[in-house]
Amino acid sequence: MTLNELADQASQRFAKAFGRPPRWIVAAPGRVNVIGEHTDYNDGFVLPMAIEFYTVMAADSGTGVSPVSSSKKSGQDARATTGKSTFLTIRDTLFKETAQFDVSKPVEKGEPKWSNYIRGVIAGFQWRGEKIPALDVLLHSTVPLGSGLSSSAALEVSTATLLETALGKKIDPVEKALLCQKAEHEYAGMPCGIMDQFVSVMGRKDHLLLLDCRSRQTELVPLNDPSVAVLIVNTNVKHELTGSEYPTRRRQCEAAAKILGVPSLRDATAAALEDAKGKLDPLVYRRARHVIGEIERTVHAAEGVRASNWPTVGQLMYASHRSLRDDYEVSCAELDAVVEIAEGIGVKGGVYGCRMTGGGFGGCCVALVKAEAVDAISKRIAADYRKQIGIEATIFVSRPAAGTTVIKG
């Protein structure tokens, strides 16, 4: 579905829920990371792209009245009001739930859970001194949930874009991404890095985003060669380790940096790590080896993309996967199975490289493939994955997409 078709759908659903057409429509994309995993919170480099899957918000000034269609479950502070509203009402098309809260007061965490991403961003605008208007919002998303494609960043960034549009004010893109990251830290309890929010804000059609997570400088690296395609394979599994393991990895990286005497692992070299090997816990050593190697691989992969050197980029992706599997230990049997199948198909069959993408413990793999072989590769991965794992994978192609946009406003 194109973004315009999706926006039309959101517009119709808004009209159905709230009984009038929306005044504003905004969107923010999910992302896939081509390489540079678990490097963002180590001040390193990442190389993601926005994907053609979006969270769309259609909205109008708020009436404070609950939507026309009945809701399965309402937020704890949900209520219908009449007269001049100070409420923000969000109708979600996936869970068919409605969240409603008063934006004339500091917005706090609440129910339903997904509303916390939105609440956190609104609170961020309030901290900046903005007076948030009452809004009626219809939330419609095609970013698969819990699959490592950053549905949460898409939700945060679309909220920020909607608030900018409704307030008639633009905030600096870097500040906007950081505000969204803070929402995720403080309202969703996930101590994420800055990659997802940055690319959802700053992605560009037909480009990867090379982001230096220390200086926050970005470089758009063109990926518009029609002979290659980015294939995303969703394993359709999510192991519940993500939540607890992510902060543990962060702490292990900080411990390694401390022992190496550097501010972050960005400042460490492979040689310095080897010299200090005896002083490091073996597990912490392996975590650091992944991060230091991955930062280097990401810089090389960006060079490879600039030079259209696809076999080199592909090899770096495989090396990234091995390192995430063996040293960082964030992969799982299902992700490994996809990468092995892809490697078995090989360059002859059209696969340059493949790796797990995102936080890990399930979710998606990303593969760089020959465009002409997309169908054959997808069929083969689907069949072999089904045979080995016993469940269906979901496989799709995405060109690098644009970051957040205002469709109507």
Exposure class string for 123-150: b at 16+ Cβ within 10 A, else e: bbbeeeeeebbbbbbbbbbbbbeebbbb
Binding segment for ligand GLA (CB under 6 A), chosen from 2-10, 38-46, 96-104, 273-281, is 38-46
We find the least distance from the C-beta atom of residue 242 to ligand GLA, in angstroms, to be 8
Three-state DSSP state, 325: helix
Q: How far, in Å, CA of 321 to CA of 315, rounded? A: 10
Residue choice 88, 107, 138, 192 for contact with ligand GLA (CB under 6 A) = 192
We find the least distance from the C-beta atom of residue 376 to ligand GLA, in angstroms, to be 30
We find the least distance from the C-beta atom of residue 1 to ligand GLA, in angstroms, to be 24
| 364 scored as a contact of ligand GLA (CB under 6 A) | no
Residue choice 29, 75, 193, 350 for contact with ligand GLA (CB under 6 A) = 193
Binding segment for ligand GLA (CB under 6 A), chosen from 188-196, 227-235, 302-310, 399-407, is 188-196
Do 352 and 377 form a contact (C-beta atoms < 8 A)?
Answer: no
For helices 173-187 and 115-127, angle between their N-to-C axes, nearest 10 degrees: 120
Binding segment for ligand GLA (CB under 6 A), chosen from 74-82, 88-96, 189-197, 216-224, is 189-197
We find the least distance from the C-beta atom of residue 190 to ligand GLA, in angstroms, to be 7
Of the two residues 41 and 285, which places its CB atom closer to ligand GLA in the complex? 41
We find the least distance from the C-beta atom of residue 398 to ligand GLA, in angstroms, to be 17
Residue choice 43, 164, 196, 327 for contact with ligand GLA (CB under 6 A) = 196
Q: How many CA atoms does the CB half-sphere of 274 hold within 13 Å?
A: 4
Which residues are within 8 A (CB) of 396 and not within 5 positions of it... i.e. 6 or more apart?
A: 231, 232, 234
Q: How far, in Å, CA of 209 to CA of 33, rounded? A: 9
Residue 178: other Cβ atoms inside 10 A: 18
Please tell me which residue in 196, 327, 336, 384 is annotated as part of the active site.
196
326 part of the active site = no
Q: How far, in Å, CA of 309 to CA of 306, rounded? A: 8
Q: How many residues bind ligand GLA (CB under 6 A)?
A: 10
Residue choice 18, 40, 157, 209 for contact with ligand GLA (CB under 6 A) = 40
Q: Residue 47 is inside which H or E element, if any?
A: strand 45-61
Q: How far, in Å, CA of 84 to CA of 62, rounded? A: 9
Q: Residue 110 is inside which H or E element, if any?
A: none
Place of tokens 């896939």: 32
| 358 scored as a contact of ligand GLA (CB under 6 A) | yes
| 327 scored as a contact of ligand GLA (CB under 6 A) | no
Three-state DSSP state, 335: helix
Q: Residue 138 is inside which H or E element, if any?
A: strand 135-141
| 37 scored as a contact of ligand GLA (CB under 6 A) | yes
Binding segment for ligand GLA (CB under 6 A), chosen from 35-43, 90-98, 106-114, 170-178, is 35-43
Of the two residues 193 and 353, which places its CB atom closer to ligand GLA in the complex? 193
Active site residues: 196
